[in-house]
């Protein structure tokens, strides 16, 4: 579905993503795993053409991102968003419909109805008229997921969707990701909690500036691969078959 070839990005003279080539499979929930500063967000932003001066190529179904952007949904890191912007939850979700509208068209009743349905799917219908600055972190994250759902994309990128959310929201998010997968959609998630990786994800992309490995979780979630990815930043309680992770920061 996505072919990434020789993607590199430098800031000043520092390489943050170096010569990464990989294919991303359709219909799976895939996670980008690696220590802080490994280039996970940068790689996603490179795929989505959100940062300049990236070398290499990315093709989505053989086309550029610009040609395929309507089928791609993006949920950025919650901290990267200006939550003081004066707008309510329903309007944020309705914005997800803009890709479906023609030039100069404003969202109509149908778009509002779809946006409302998406808020219901994430359990946020009661908060439709609430200003986004007055939502909790978990509620804001749900609104963002609803916005991505409203877009009705084929492919979703989510940057750390579980950060700062309570257990109920985490459960709601993972249920939603599994629903998307059942509908044949492809989901890519930047994630840092190694304790939930095996439960949540089918496929892993292990990254530390370079690509360490990409493949099924059952093959890659091993002590050896994790040590190659995290180096000294990882503490494990020894167990050959199933590493028990203490600290991935």
Q: Interface residues with ligand ADP (CB under 6 A)?
A: 11, 16, 34, 36-42
Nearest 5 degrees, angle CA 196-CA 199-CA 200?
80
Cβ–Cβ < 8 Å for 191, 200? yes
Nearest to 118 by CA among 99, 144, 136: 144
State the minimum distance, in angstroms, from the CB of residue 144 to ligand ADP: 17
State the minimum distance, in angstroms, from the CB of residue 188 to ligand ADP: 13
State the minimum distance, in angstroms, from the CB of residue 102 to ligand ADP: 34
Give the nearer residue to ligand ADP in terms of CB position, either 43 or 118.
Answer: 43
Give the nearer residue to ligand ADP in terms of CB position, either 9 or 147.
Answer: 9
State the minimum distance, in angstroms, from the CB of residue 53 to ligand ADP: 11
Give the nearer residue to ligand ADP in terms of CB position, either 11 or 61.
Answer: 11
SS3 per-residue string spanning 68-83: HHHHEEEECCHHHCCC
Calpha distance 202→38 (Å, rounded): 21
Name the CA radius of gyration of the chain, rounded: 18
Calpha distance 161→189 (Å, rounded): 8
Give the nearer residue to ligand ADP in terms of CB position, either 37 or 108.
Answer: 37
The DSSP string of 16-64 is EEEEEEEEE-TT-EEEEE--TTSSHHHHHHHHTT-SS--EEEEEETTB-
State the minimum distance, in angstroms, from the CB of residue 36 to ligand ADP: 5
- Torsional class of 216: left (φ above 0), alpha (ψ -120 to 50), beta (otherwise): beta
Give the nearer residue to ligand ADP in terms of CB position, either 127 or 203.
Answer: 203
Give the nearer residue to ligand ADP in terms of CB position, either 154 or 248.
Answer: 248
Nearest to 45 by CA among 2, 3, 76, 85: 76
State the minimum distance, in angstroms, from the CB of residue 247 to ligand ADP: 16
């Amino acid at each position: 579905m996505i072919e990434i070839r020789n993607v590199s990005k430098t800031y000043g003279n520092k390489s943050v993503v170096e010569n990464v080539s990989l294919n991303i499979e359709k219909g799976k929930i895939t996670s980008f795993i690696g220590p802080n500063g490994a280039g996970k967000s940068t790689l996603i932003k490179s795929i989505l053409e959100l940062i300049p001066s990236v070398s290499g190529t990315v093709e989505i179904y053989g086309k550029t991102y610009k040609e395929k952007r309507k089928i791609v949904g993006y949920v950025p890191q919650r901290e990267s968003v200006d939550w003081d912007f004066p707008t309510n939850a329903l309007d944020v979700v309705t914005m997800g419909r803009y890709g479906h509208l023609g030039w100069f068209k404003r969202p109509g009743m149908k778009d509002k109805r779809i946006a409302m349905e998406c808020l219901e799917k994430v359990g946020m219908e009661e908060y439709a008229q609430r200003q986004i600055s007055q939502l909790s972190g978990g509620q804001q994250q749900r609104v963002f997921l609803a916005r991505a759902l409203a877009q009705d994309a084929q492919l979703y990128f989510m940057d750390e969707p579980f950060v700062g959310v309570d257990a109920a929201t985490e459960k709601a998010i993972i249920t939603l990701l599994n629903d998307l997968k059942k509908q044949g959609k492809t989901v890519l998630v930047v994630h840092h909690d190694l304790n939930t990786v095996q439960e949540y994800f089918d496929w892993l992309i292990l990254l530390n500036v370079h690509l360490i490995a990409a493949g099924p979780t059952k093959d890659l979630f091993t002590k050896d691969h994790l040590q190659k990815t995290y180096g000294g930043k990882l503490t494990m309680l020894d167990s050959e078959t199933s590493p028990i992770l203490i600290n991935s920061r």
